[in-house]
Amino acid sequence: MSLMTHSDAYAAQLQEMHRGNANFGKRGSRWLPVVEAVMESIGGTTDILDYGCGKGELNLHMPFGISMYDPGIVVHSDKPEPADIVICTDVMEHIEPLYVGDVIMELHKLTLERLIMCVSCRPAIKQLPDGRNAHLIIQPPDFWLKRFNQAGFVTETALGETATDDPEFPVNDVTWVFKRK
């Protein structure tokens, strides 16, 4: 059975966002220190997949090329292959709710050693071209942790939450490093 991770219509929305906003999907390089620490913890690897790579900023700062996947970037939209380390940052909140389970299952299939995961838990500043908030899923950290644990991931490191002053959405984002069970 093939996993469905997004609709064609939504991929088109993401592609339009990337074309129309030079800064959309350009924050991947901020994860370089975390990637380097995880690489060191598992004895080094050059087998890395950036799942939801955006414009590929992390790849530009790595000392070697990494695999990239993003349905919003046509040149990176081919189905990815498994890797020792999978990076999925600022992605899950952008997934269509119908496909969250399949995306998490796909991440489990793709992750051979570690998954670096960061999820935003508040509405986005940006809107999709169709007017929806760019964060399609706004849930607290426990929602995400439960789903990743159910899919066969174990928390290796909880890198923490960043807080907001908004009582309705007290957590900005949360970051974990998961191992496969």
Q: Which CATH number fits domain 8-152: 3.30.930.10, 3.10.290.10, 3.30.420.40, 3.40.50.150?
A: 3.40.50.150
Q: For the residues 145-165, what does the mean pLDDT come to?
A: 91
Mean per-residue pLDDT, 156-181: 87
Average pLDDT taken over every residue of the chain:
92
Decide if pLDDT at 150 tops 80.
Answer: yes
Q: What is the pTM of this model?
A: 0.93
Please tell me the predicted confidence (pLDDT) of residue 1.
60
- Domain definitions of the chain by residue range: 8-152
What's the confidence (pLDDT) of residue 46? 78
Residue 172 has pLDDT above 90, yes or no: no
Find the range with the poorest average confidence among 62-66, 81-85, 109-113.
Answer: 62-66
Q: Give how far the C-alpha of residue 161 lies from the chain's centroid of Cα atoms, to the nearest Å.
A: 16
- Looking at the chain, the whole-number percentage of residues with pLDDT higher than 70 is 99
Burial class (CB in 10 A: 0-12, 13-18, 19+), 25: buried
Which pairing describes strands 171-180 and 153-163: parallel, antiparallel, or unpaired?
antiparallel
pLDDT in tens, 8-56: 999 999 999 888 877 778 788 888 999 999 999 998 777 999 999 999 9
Instruction: Look at residues 87, 118, 96 and name the one whose alpha carbon lies nearest to residue 12.
Output: 96
pLDDT of residue 45: 76
The whole-number pLDDT of residue 135 equals 96
DSSP state of 23: T
Where b means 16+ CB within 10 Å and e means fewer, 42-74 reads: eeebebbbbbbbbbbbbbeebeeebbbbbbbbe
Question: Which residues neighbour 122 within 8 Å (Cβ) at sequence distance 6 or greater?
Answer: 135, 138, 164, 166, 169, 171, 172, 173
